[in-house]
Amino acid sequence: MNLLFVTSEVHPLVKTGGLADVSRSLPMALHALGENVCLLVPGYREVLAHSDASTVILTEFPYGLLPAPARLLETTLPGSGLPVWVLDCPELFDRAGGPYQDNNGKDWSDNALRFASFCKAAAWLVQGHATPWAIDLVHCNDWQTALVPALLKFWDCPTPSVLTIHNLAFQGNFDAAMVEVLDLPGKEFHPGSLEFYGQLSFLKAGIVHADGITTVSPRYAREIQTPQMGCGFDGLLRHRASVLSGILNGIDELWNPATDVMLPHCYSIVRKSGKAMNKAHLQHKLGLPENPDVFLVGMVSRLTWQKGIDLVLDALDDLLDDASVQFVVLGSGDAEMERRLVHWNSRLPDRVRITLGFHEALSHEIIAGSDLFLMPSRFEPCGLAQMYAMTYGTPPLVHHTGGLADTVSPYLPGKSSRTQSGTGFVFEHAHTYDFSECFRMALACFRDPPAWKKVVHNAMKKDFRWNIAAQEYVALYNRLLPQWPELPE
Ligand code: ADP
C-alpha cells in the first residue's frame, strides 16, 4: 500500500523530541514489511540545509492554496533510503529558530497559519495532485498535522486517515478568528467539528474526523479517556473509543549499544564491560571525578512540568546528601527549572553537571554512561528515553503512568536474584516523597551487586524493536482501506 506519513519533525533532519525518532523508525519498519512509505515534512531551514544533488523539485503548489509561493521537493531521509517530500515555503518555514518556537523559546506567532498551510498542502497531495502514485492512506501525527483528516472530509476526499496522538497536552488551539483567516469553512466551527470551548482546535478537528486514532501506548489510550488525564478531550475520546487504540512505540536501530556510533565503547548483553568504560568516559568528559563506585544518575529530557523535573529538584538536597552520588542532566526548557538546576551545578561542581541545550551525541553518552536514568514524568504518552535506557543497561526510575508503566517492570526488593523480574524502579504517586523513597530503593539495590546485575540484565533483555508494533499499524491500515467485493471465479 502507498502511505503518506505526515510529520512536523523527523530525525536526523529536525528533532525536538520523541516524535522525530518515531517518524524515522516507524516508516522504516513499515517499509521493511513491504509498504511503500513517503514522508512529508515542512521545509524548515535545517531541513533545507540537508538538501543535496539528489533533491528534486516535484511541483509548485497552485496560487491561492497557500499564503505564499511554495514548492514540493523530494529528497531522501539520510541513512534510510526513504523518500521525503518537503514543503518548501520559505515565508512560513525558512527562518532561524526551532520548528515551533523562536530562539527565545516563544511560540511563533503565525503557527496556526504555518501548520494549517502544511495540512492544506498534505491534503492537496492526498487528493492525488502532482503525486507520482495514488496515496492509499495518510498517517498524521499530533496537532500540527491534525487538520488533514478534517480537510479531507470537507473536500469530499475518500482516502482514509489515521491520526496518532503523541501528546494530548499539545492541542494547537487558536483564536476563533483564525477560522476565517485560514479560510476554513465557517459552518464547521461548532463543538462537533473544529470548535473547542470557543477556540479553533487543530487536534480536536483530527480526533473528530480521522478514520482511525492511535496513541503511543495502551495505558495512555485508556488514561486519556478519563477526566483526570483527558485534557478536556476525554468525552470526545470516549465517544470515538471504537476507532481509538494504543500501540506501543518501538525504538530505532540507531539506539543499540552494540553498534552505536556515538559511543566511545560499544557493548551488549553478552559483553557488558564496555558500559563501565562509557561511565568513565562520561565522567571524564563532564569533568567529574572518575570513580567506578559512585552512583552516576543521569537525565536527558525536556525540562518541563510534564517531565517531573520539579520533583527531582525538590528532592535534590536529600539525594545529594549521599556523597557517593553524581548527577548529570542534559536538557532545555522552562527557564526557572534551568536556573535551579544550574544553581546545583555551581553548588556541587564536582558532583553535579548540568548541560543546557540539545546535543544528540551527549544524550547517547549519558544514557550509556549512567548507572540510573531518571524519568519521573507526571504523565507520559509512551516515552522513548526509558526504553533506550533499559536497552543500554541503565535501569530507569519512573513514575507509574502511561508508557512508563507499560514498559518498565518494577524492581521488588526482597526478591532473590533468581526470581527478580524488575527492569527498573517505579513509584506510584507523583510526589517528591515517593520519588525520594524510590531513589533510596534504587541506591540500596546498586549497593547490592548481585541484585543490581540482575536488574541490568533484565533491562537489557527487553525487546523494544518495532516489528510487532509496525504489524499492528499495517493491520489497522488494512481495516481502514476500502474493501473491494470479491470477484466471482
Ligand atoms: P518527549 O518526546 O516527550 O520529549 P521521549 O522520551 O519520547 O520524550 O523522547 C525524547 C527524545 O528526545 C529522546 O530521543 C531523548 O534522548 C531526546 N532528548 C530530549 N532532550 C534532549 C536534549 N536536550 N538533547 C538531546 N536529546 C534530547
Listed by start position, the domains of the chain span 2-252+467-480, 273-461
Burial class (CB in 10 A: 0-12, 13-18, 19+), 396: buried
Ligand 1: distance of its center to the CA of 20 in Å? 9
For the record, the C-alpha cell of 228 comes out as 483526570
The number of the ligand 1 atom at minimal distance from the alpha carbon of 302 is 20
The enclosing H or E element of 336 equals: helix 335-347
Ligand 1: distance of its center to the CA of 9 in Å? 13
* Among the listed residues 69, 66, 102, 85, the one whose alpha carbon sits nearest the alpha carbon of residue 10: 85
pLDDT of residue 421: 96
For 333, left (φ over 0), alpha (ψ -120 to 50), or beta? left
Residues 6+ apart with CB under 8 A from 220: 246, 379, 380, 381, 382, 402, 403, 406
- 151 close to 182: Cβ distance less than 8 angstroms: no
Q: Ligand 1 pocket test: pick from 363, 367, 464 the residue with the most ligand atoms within 8 Å of its Cβ.
A: 363
Residues in contact with ligand 1 (CB, 6 Å cut-off):
17-18, 21, 300-302, 330-332, 358-360, 363, 383-385
Q: Do domains 2-252+467-480 and 273-461 have the same CATH topology?
A: yes
> What is the crossing angle of helices 147-154 and 111-126, to 10°?
50
What is Dmax (Cα atoms) for the chain? 80
pLDDT in tens, the chain (489 residues): 999 999 999 999 999 999 999 999 999 999 999 999 999 999 999 999 988 888 999 999 998 999 999 999 999 999 999 999 999 999 999 999 999 999 988 999 999 999 999 999 999 999 999 888 899 999 999 999 999 999 999 999 999 999 999 999 999 999 999 999 999 999 999 999 999 999 999 999 999 999 999 999 999 999 999 999 999 999 999 999 999 999 999 999 999 999 999 999 999 999 999 999 999 999 999 999 999 999 999 999 999 999 999 999 999 999 999 999 999 999 999 999 999 999 999 999 999 999 999 999 999 999 999 999 999 999 999 999 999 999 999 999 999 999 999 999 999 998 988 899 999 999 999 999 999 999 999 999 999 999 999 999 999 999 999 989 999 999 999 999 988 777 777
Q: Ligand 1 pocket test: pick from 302, 332, 354 the residue with the most ligand atoms within 8 Å of its Cβ.
A: 302
Ligand 1: distance of its center to the CA of 356 in Å? 13
Q: What CATH number matches the domain at 273-461, 3.40.50.2000, 3.40.50.1820, 3.50.50.60, 1.20.120.1810? A: 3.40.50.2000
From residue 158, alpha-carbon distances to 65, 152, 352, 370, 371 in Å are: 20, 7, 56, 50, 51
Ligand 1: distance of its center to the CA of 358 in Å? 9
The number of the ligand 1 atom at minimal distance from the alpha carbon of 360 is 25
**Which 8-state DSSP code applies to residue 410?**
B
d(C-alpha 4, C-alpha 133), whole Å: 11
The number of the ligand 1 atom at minimal distance from the alpha carbon of 355 is 23
The number of the ligand 1 atom at minimal distance from the alpha carbon of 330 is 23
Among protein residues, the one with the nearest Cα to ligand 1's atom 4 is 17
3-state secondary structure of 251: coil
d(C-alpha 166, C-alpha 393), whole Å: 26
pLDDT of residue 102: 95
3-state secondary structure of 107: strand
d(C-alpha 71, C-alpha 94), whole Å: 13
* Nearest-5° Cα angle at 107, 246 to 430: 45
The number of the ligand 1 atom at minimal distance from the alpha carbon of 385 is 6
- Verify cis geometry, omega within 30 degrees of 0, for the bond prior to 12: yes
Q: Which fold has domain 2-252+467-480?
A: Rossmann fold (3.40.50)
pLDDT of residue 488: 73
Amino acid at 205: A
The number of the ligand 1 atom at minimal distance from the alpha carbon of 15 is 12
For the record, the C-alpha cell of 480 comes out as 481502514
Count of C-beta atoms within a 10 Å radius of residue 117: 25
Among protein residues, the one with the nearest Cα to ligand 1's atom 22 is 358
Ligand 1: distance of its center to the CA of 209 in Å? 30
For the record, the C-alpha cell of 471 comes out as 504489524
Q: Ligand 1 pocket test: pick from 300, 337, 341, 377 the residue with the most ligand atoms within 8 Å of its Cβ.
A: 300
d(C-alpha 322, C-alpha 427), whole Å: 20
pLDDT of residue 17: 92
First-to-last C-alpha distance (Å) of the chain: 24
Q: Ligand 1 pocket test: pick from 252, 358, 367, 391 the residue with the most ligand atoms within 8 Å of its Cβ.
A: 358
d(C-alpha 93, C-alpha 3), whole Å: 24
- Please state the φ and ψ torsions of residue 330, each to the nearest 5 degrees: -125, 125
Q: Tell me the whole-structure pTM to 2 decimals.
A: 0.95
